[in-house]
Amino acid sequence: MLATIILAAGKGKRMKNPHKAKVMYTLRGKPLISYVIDLSLKIESDKIIIIVGHQRESVINFISKEYNSEKIHFAIQEEQLGTGHAVMQTYPQLKDFDGNVLILSGDVPLLKIKTIKEFISYHNKNSFDASLISAKLDNPFGYGRIIRNALNEFISIKEEKDATEEERKTDEINSGIYIVKSKLLFEALKILKPDNAQKEYYLTDIFEYFIQNNHKIGAFLIEDQKEILGINTIQQLQDLENLYVNSNDNEE
């Protein structure tokens, strides 16, 4: 069983338009959120929960008109208190779900179906409790780094501000795309605390809980870094528009 959560509640402050949800900006004439929903349906998710918040009426109205699927549900994040807090809002709909939960971002449109299927297969075949997608970037500045041991096994995620000088030299980064056993996910979310400058609940902190409790974690390194690029500014949207013209559709 597979449930897919799509994070789509953010304000997108750097898009400079408070009257528009970030996931409703278009790439090649199609809202960003549509790419992620289409992928979620094509990988045959049993349930799709879209977390909405900022300008949620426009997002809900668009999706309700565009998609006629009983699989699609909405969870509301009234206050934007971080990605961990966002996923907490899905508990009422997933508390009885027993399977894997895939967590995607609504502003990452170039992720390929083939990649996600390989990621899910990697997670299942290795019997991981939780897995994430990583990528190697020429300039990893600002991203959480993936730290591995001598056997190339995942050890931890180190946020840039917490990483040592040596750890910052690592070019493998966390994409923010995860798959976690459902019971374990909500067990970990319960212990999250907003002990950071933003006073937010960070989803990445669940991996610290997994490590402390000796859960088996996988980091799936993808080759094409373009697939995990998200949108935070109008310039990034334009850059992705240019990339999309020169890349294959995410069918593959």
Catalytic residues, by residue number, are: 14
Q: What share of residues in the chain are helix, strand, coil (percent, to 5)? A: 35, 25, 40
Q: What's the CA gap between 89 and 204, in Å, rounded?
A: 16
Q: What's the CA gap between 113 and 248, in Å, rounded?
A: 12
Q: In DSSP terms, which residues pair with 179 in a beta bridge?
A: 102, 131
Are 5 and 93 in contact, with CB atoms under 8 Å apart? Answer: no
Helix (H) or strand (E) holding 15: none
> Rounded to an integer, what is the distance from CA 150 to the centroid of its chain?
27
Q: Which amino acid is at 7?
A: L
Three-state SS at 68: coil
